[in-house]
Structure 1
Amino acid sequence: MSDQPSAAEEIMDGVYRALRAHGYADVTMQDIADECSKSKSLLHYHYDTKEDLLVAFLDYVITDSEARIRAHADEPPIERLAGFVGWFVFEADAVDREAFHIALLELRTQGPFNERIREQLVRSDRLLRGTVADILESGIENGTFREVDVEETAALVVATLDGARTRQITLTGGDGDGAGDRDEADGAGDSDEADADGDGATAEGGDATAVDDLPEPTYTRRVAEATLQRIVAPLLADGVALPSLEDGIAAMSRDDETE
């Protein structure tokens, strides 16, 4: 990696933009070079392969997340936890952020087959669960939260939020609002090929996607709100107020979208 931090950050920003535009499977070293205004040969001088560069990028993203979390370490535990929950919310028009997380999801699928990528994914998982556990421990100590199994609760919170994010980005078609999928599903009933019995099956015998099965554009927001109300609120000691989800989102606002 370059000895000049600014150059390294420029390369990582280029990886971020290239992944958003092309996805993990299709992105090339040339795509990354084009996005960061560096030559392909310069990238290969610092990173032998695309895999080397993408592993370095994962390290960069996780390190950035660690720094963002540390920046809130002195805030009240309930505010930190609300901020953590808000961190997972996708706005309906966050197309670029969604595209980036789709690329990250592609990277995550390589975990079972690539030890170096798996090591970074394990590090990320430990960071997320460890952050919630640390918040809960601090809150129990100062009387914000009731006594709970912090590791079990942290695992539940992370699984809920990460699962919601994964469901939204994989089932809305990657267009930020899911409109394309919904339009196709809505139109299926009007097609000449639609089943005459109205059971949702096509003339060829395939099952049409039910509109109700598709996540809403605000799915992560609804799950985040439910997480606050159904998981976090019961943990609060008497007299402790639950912050709003909007407060949580604002608390973890980012200078950019790389988390």
Structure 2
Amino acid sequence: MSEQPGAADEIMNGVYRALCKHGYAGLTMQDIADECSKSKSLLHYHYDTKEDLLVAFLSRVISDFERRMSRSADAPPVERLVAFVGWFVFEPAETERESFHIGLLEMRSQGPFNDRIREQLLRSDRLLRETAADVLSDGIDDGVFREVDVDETAALLVATLDGARTRQITLGTGLGGETASGVTGDDEIASEATGNGDEVAYGTPGDWRTTDGELGDVDAPEADIAYTRTVAEATLRRIVEPLLVEGVALPSLDETLEQLTARTGENPTAGPDSEGETRE
């Protein structure tokens, strides 16, 4: 049975808060009820099972992303592409968004075993790739992007950015993660972060060396720089900038992040609605 619009928002807010607090594996209908004014029995009145409710929540999150992207469809393609990249960035201080993504990652792990969850995950992946491809196509039509295979480039963008987000929430914020040999698997990204051409390898923690083993004039990336931020900046330099025709410049990622009213992992019912007003 469908619920009233206000009740729908309240329930979805409750799912969001409960997922941030408890994660997916141990989440119960009572946990969700505790995060909103609805009783457990009322939740079951609207949704027969916890799975029904969580699938509806996933659908809501995806629809929210689609709605936000459609509102910026008239913006210049270059700005839209930088905003798309920025959508995947979250900073170390954004602990609520990190908790939410941990819960989502748990749900994503059910994809191979749960057809309904996999259907929503496929919808999300398709929407992300189509969104990036549409921006690239618009940029080519407007003469600001070079001719490329838009579907292939969109798939590369999504795989890179989504992979960085997954890596950050599973392994941590910075560029660490030494192997048993003491050499990180992120040397290329680390080199990008230093801003010079030296390839970097890890020795002992805090001991940055060039690949010939000598201490170099290379500053280690700050530990509080988000991995998603580092990869986003590298993506703009290595993937997006080469697409630009001569004379076209990228907007600042910092300014773009400040202008984004919401990014992935924020409460889907807390931002501006389809008419651009803010829900209380």
**TM-score, structure 1 length as denominator?**
0.82
1:86 paired with 2:86, answer yes
* Offset at residue 240 of structure 1 (A): 0.6
Give me the whole-angstrom Cα distance separating, in 2, the residues matched to 1:121 and 1:135: 21
Does 2:225 align with 1:232? no
Does 1:241 find its partner at 2:245? no
Displacement after TM superposition at 1:41 (Å): 0.1
Corresponding letter in the other structure for 1:248: T
**Would you say the 8 A contact 1:89–1:224 is kept in 2?**
yes
CA contact (8 A) 1:85 1:248 kept: no
Q: Give the secondary-structure state (helix, strand or coil) at the position aligned to 1:148.
A: coil
1:143 partner SS:
coil
Q: Matched residues in 2 for 1:136 and 1:258: separation?
A: 28
Which has the bigger relative contact order, CA under 8 A and spacing at least 6? 1
Q: CA 1:211/1:115 → structure 2, altered by over 3 Å: closer, same or farther?
A: farther
Q: Match for residue 70 of structure 1? A: 70
CA distance in 1, matches of 2:205, 2:115: 39
2:266 pairs with 1:257: yes
Does residue 17 (structure 1) correspond to residue 17 (structure 2)? The answer is yes
Check whether the contact 1:144–1:236 (CA below 8 A) recurs between aligned residues.
Answer: yes
- State the alpha-carbon separation in 1 of the partners of residues 19 and 223 from structure 2: 24
Report the Cα distance in structure 2 between the residues aligned to 1:128 and 1:48, rounded to whole angstroms: 30
Task: Give the 5 Å matches for 1:81-230.
Answer: 81-172=81-172, 216-217=223-224, 218-230=226-238
Segments ≥4 residues shifted beyond 4 Å: none
Report deviation, 1:50: 0.5
Question: What is the root-mean-square deviation of aligned Cα atoms in Å?
Answer: 2.3
Spell out, residue by residue over 1:220-250, the C-alpha distance to the aligned partner (whole angstroms, 9 max, x if none).
Answer: 1010001111100000011111111113323
Q: Which moved more, 1:152-161 or 1:241-250?
A: 241-250
Pair 1:245–1:36, CA change in 2 (3 A): same
Question: Structure 1 residues 227, 126: CA separation in 2 closer, same or farther (over 3 Å shift)?
Answer: same
**1:84–1:248 CA contact under 8 A, matched in 2:** no
Q: Which has the higher helix share?
A: 1
Paired residue secondary structure (1:36): coil
Count of residue pairs brought into register by the alignment: 228
Q: Distance in 2 between matches of 1:49 and 1:4?
A: 19
The CA deviation at 1:37 is 1.6
Show CA shifts across 1:165-217 (max 9, x none).
00000012xxxx67xx99xx9xxxxxxxxxxxxx88xxxxxxxxx858xx954
Separation in structure 2 between the aligned mates of residue 211 and residue 6 of structure 1, nearest angstrom: 52
Which ranges of structure 1 fall in alignment gaps of 5 or more residues? 186-198, 201-209
**Aligned position for 2:188:** none
SS at match of 1:64: helix
C-alpha separation in 2, matches of 1:257 and 1:211:
34
Identity value in percent: 68
State how far apart, in whole Å, the 1-side matches of 2:233 and 2:246 are. 20
